[in-house]
Amino acid sequence: MSTEDFTDDMDAIRLIFFDECDEQLTLLEEELTVLGEDPENREKINTVFRCVHSIKGGAAAFGMEDLVRFSHLFESVLDRFRSGENAVNADSIAVFLKCKDMLSDIVSAFKNGARTYEIAPDITADLEHYLHSETSKSEQVSDDVDMDDIFGMSFAPVKIEIDAPSEQQFSIVLTISSEFYERGDDVRNLLMALGQLGHVSVQVDIAAIPFLDDISPCQSYLTWQITLTTEASRESIEEIFDWSGYDLQAVITALPENSVEVVQPSAPPANEKTDPPVTKGAERKDSATVRVDIQRIDKLVDLIGELVINQGAIQSQMRRNKVHGDSFLGNVVTAQEQLIHELQENVITMRAYPIKTVFQKLGRVVRETARLTEKQVRLVLEGEDTEVDRSILEKLSDPLTHMVRNAIDHGIESPEVRAQEGKDPEGLLRLRAFQRSGRIIVEIQDDGAGLDPDRIYDKAVEKKIIEKGQRLDREEIYSLIFEPGFSTVAEVTDVSGRGVGMDVVKQSLQQINGRIFISSAKGKGTTFSISLPFTLSVIEGIIFKSEGQDFVIPINNLSETIIFDNKKAFHIGDGKYGYPYRDGYLSVVYAADLLGFSSDKKSQKICFVIENENEEKMAFIVDKIIDQSRFVVKNLEDNYRKIACFSTATILGDGNVAFILDVEFLFSEILKKRENSLEEKV
């Protein structure tokens, strides 16, 4: 192996280490959040300890001394908590979270090429405080008490002989698996931990090392034979090896007194029983996951997108050349289309992540905001396993952060006010995620004061966002909070009041084709519902024609297709029409009107009944239905410019571009303007 190959391998291993650090840090924050709610949970404090220990082990292997030093200090403090010497409380959790942030900063610095990192002195001081604090819980007798005369009774000191703990020798034979090194751990960490218990003598057995030609770089051949002289118990020794699970096998044997030789476990005396090993040598299950660079997955998604476009081109040529679908070629193309469809779904699923990664971070936001506003807030998370495309998840964190902060600052009342109103002094904030109609719904719900429409309206007039006397319905008034510069807070604080935040939320959601809806009841609370696509890469839809041009409508927004009877339509005024539907009426929108054409509406027979996230319906009239298929989504603003009524575009099989209808825009900009007129006519 050349020097360059060795360097490349080390760089690859470093990248794996940093990826594992990210996983450990995410798990660390999750477990600290749960531990803060359940301080007596011993399993959680053990998991927290293991996370820090794993980071330290990998950092030591790569010579990241500052990361090792801080991790070791953090680990030493956690050890006092898991042993019960210190009790977990809100203050200690706050310190641990700061240490987690410091670990993240150090890892990021080394990932970006730094060789050293200066640790914040205040965080180090907080940790050292726990190491040097008095942990004895026994009662202390004050100096002014005379021990010879308590309550008139005299006492004479009595000397009690207490035997000092005797030292004992243990033989430890340590066998390491390759997985132990793959996760960034190091035998040196185990030896250092044993050294803290007493005197350690180590011999390395190299008998199993094969000839150079037969050596596998992924195999471990060494066996460590350790003699430990200590006053500690056997359980204390076993705890050191517990963290590595099945990655190692440690056989611990108590030696007879005055014994100085290491007992070989491979050939024990016939009548002597050796103690059982710490971990059984059972085979470790292979990992069910494979680490893949996300850029490779993104590239694979793009390539499959091109494959879908080519598939559409084949079908287009078949229709043009009048090749029937039941022919041999037609059957082959249909089978290929099904395979591409399944491949596309699997690849998109590979890029999906549980929304828990975003939800867990909001726990910190809730705690910090509640502390700044001096409010009591209980956070409830639901649907954390709901999966969202990575490209959407990356842009969802900031909007949710703004909304959570606003829910606490503006929505949930202070404990005193809630008590006066007969509410629980502790406010409830619920984050919920679920799938509905092929989209991801994220709800932020609080049980606070709710939105005050009159106050919002007056503030909007004061800010000159609307004119005084302008008629708006309740939903339109609620939507004013998303206007730039809007705020109902009289005084600017560290949390809010500058008029930024909710407008950022709306802009961020629009970038990922998301929509937001508000429902509120004064005195009972507010619910913000965010509707997101499962992926930004592909949609399933129906191609339709209008005025000779092809367009696509997402099938998730399509309720049904009916034959439009123009005689049943009634004129409302100003070119607006209504149409009877089941037990009610629908507002009618002609596709030609969106394009600026004045077509003969009497000849149009195809009607799409479309609906939005609020299950409101409208009649959308088109000329002709072409086909139903899956389409690769292309961003309009990146490739052309923003066009009203259309969210994105796609490339059809014949090479032409078709715009994809923005159904939510139709409801927000067209339907709402017609509701009052339609109700008056009915």
pLDDT of residue 526: 92
pLDDT of residue 372: 85
pLDDT, mean of residues 183-201: 80
Spell out the SS3 assignment of 404-465.
HHHHHHHHCCCHHHHHHCCCCCCEEEEEEEEEECCEEEEEEEECCCCCCHHHHHHHHHHCCC
Q: Mark whether 236 and 308 lie in a shared domain.
A: no
Q: Mark whether 341 and 365 lie in a shared domain.
A: no
pLDDT of residue 245: 62
Range among 46-55, 161-170, 284-293, 638-647 rated most confident: 46-55
Task: Give the confidence band of 284 by pLDDT, cuts at 50, 70, 90.
Answer: very low
Q: Mark whether 360 and 485 lie in a shared domain.
A: yes
Spell out the SS3 assignment of 475-538.
HHHHHHHHCCCCCCCCCCCCCCCCCCCHHHHHHHHHHCCCEEEEEEECCCEEEEEEEEECCCCE
pLDDT of residue 265: 43
Evaluate whether 464 touches 470 at the Cβ level (below 8 Å).
no
pLDDT of residue 152: 43
Q: Any idea what the CATH number is for the domain that residue 184 is in?
A: 3.30.70.2190
Any domain includes 262: no
pLDDT of residue 598: 65
pLDDT of residue 446: 92
Any domain includes 267: no
Looking at the chain, the number of H-run helices and the number of E-run strands are 21, 25
Task: Give the confidence band of 430 by pLDDT, cuts at 50, 70, 90.
Answer: very high
Q: Mark whether 78 and 185 lie in a shared domain.
A: no
Mean pLDDT of the chain: 77
Q: Mark whether 615 and 675 lie in a shared domain.
A: yes
Q: Any idea what the CATH number is for the domain that residue 646 is in?
A: 2.30.30.40
Any domain includes 270: no
Any domain includes 299: yes
Q: How far is CA 245 from CA 27, 99, 279, 476, in A?
A: 18, 26, 7, 58
Any domain includes 384: yes
Indicate the residue among 315, 347, 379 that finishes a domain: 347
Which of the two residues, 542 and 348, has the higher pLDDT score?
542
Cα(298)–Cα(315) distance, integer angstroms:
26
Instruction: Find all residues with CB under 8 Å of 292, minimum gap 6, and list them.
Output: 350
pLDDT, mean of residues 582-592: 84
Indicate the residue among 533, 550, 571 that finishes a domain: 533
pLDDT of residue 291: 66
- Among 114, 82, 111, 112, smallest CA distance to 96 is for 82
Any domain includes 393: yes
Q: Mark whether 82 and 197 lie in a shared domain.
A: no
Model confidence pLDDT, tens digit, residues 470-522:
888 788 888 888 887 776 655 545 455 444 467 778 878 877 878 888 888 88
Longest dimension (CA), the chain: 117
pLDDT, mean of residues 260-268: 44
Q: Has residue 270 got a pLDDT over 80?
A: no
* DSSP output for 279-345: S--PPPPPPS-----HHHHHHHHHHHHHHHHHHHHHHHHHHHTT--TTSHHHHHHHHHHHHHHHHHH
Task: Give the confidence band of 428 by pLDDT, cuts at 50, 70, 90.
Answer: very high
Which of the two residues, 655 and 608, has the higher pLDDT score?
608
Q: Can you read off the two tokens belonging to residue 665?
A: 């825009």
Q: Has residue 434 got a pLDDT over 70?
A: yes
* DSSP output for 141-178: PPTTS-TTEETTEE--------PPPPPEEEEEEEEE-H
- Among 630, 176, 592, smallest CA distance to 438 is for 630
pLDDT of residue 4: 53
Number of domains in the chain: 5
Model confidence pLDDT, tens digit, residues 286-343:
445 666 777 788 788 888 888 888 888 888 888 888 888 788 888 898 888 888 888 8
Kindly report which listed range (233-247, 313-327, 373-387) carries the lowest average pLDDT score. Answer: 233-247
Q: Mark whether 592 and 649 lie in a shared domain.
A: yes
Cα(335)–Cα(236) distance, integer angstroms:
63
Evaluate whether 658 touches 626 at the Cβ level (below 8 Å).
no
The amino acid at residue 157 is: P
Q: Mark whether 528 and 542 lie in a shared domain.
A: no
Indicate the residue among 533, 553, 569 that finishes a domain: 533
Spell out the SS3 assignment of 1-39.
CCHHHHHHHHHHHHHHHHHHHHHHHHHHHHHHHHHHHCC
Chain position carrying tokens 């040196």:
188
Any domain includes 273: no
pLDDT of residue 9: 59
Instruction: Find all residues with CB under 8 Å of 8, minimum gap 6, and list them.
Output: none
Judging by DSSP bridges, how do beta strands 223-230 and 377-382 pair with one another?
unpaired
pLDDT, mean of residues 535-539: 77
pLDDT, mean of residues 672-680: 45
Residue 248 is part of which domain span? 168-254
pLDDT of residue 145: 37
Model confidence pLDDT, tens digit, residues 543-570:
998 888 889 998 888 888 988 888 888 8
Q: Any idea what the CATH number is for the domain that residue 65 is in?
A: 1.20.120.160
In sequence order, the β-bridge partners of residue 169 are 229
Q: Can you read off the two tokens belonging to residue 143?
A: 């100096």
Any domain includes 80: yes
3-state secondary structure of 680: helix
Which of the two residues, 247 and 187, has the higher pLDDT score?
187
In sequence order, the β-bridge partners of residue 250 are 174
Q: Mark whether 375 and 300 lie in a shared domain.
A: no
Q: How far is CA 62 from CA 218, 402, 431, in A?
A: 18, 39, 40
pLDDT of residue 433: 93
Q: Mark whether 434 and 514 lie in a shared domain.
A: yes
Q: Mark whether 402 and 523 lie in a shared domain.
A: yes
Q: Has residue 190 got a pLDDT over 70?
A: yes
Evaluate whether 221 touches 205 at the Cβ level (below 8 Å).
no
Q: Does pTM top 0.75 for this prediction?
A: no
Q: Mark whether 526 and 657 lie in a shared domain.
A: no
Model confidence pLDDT, tens digit, residues 129-166:
888 765 433 333 334 434 344 334 444 444 444 444 56
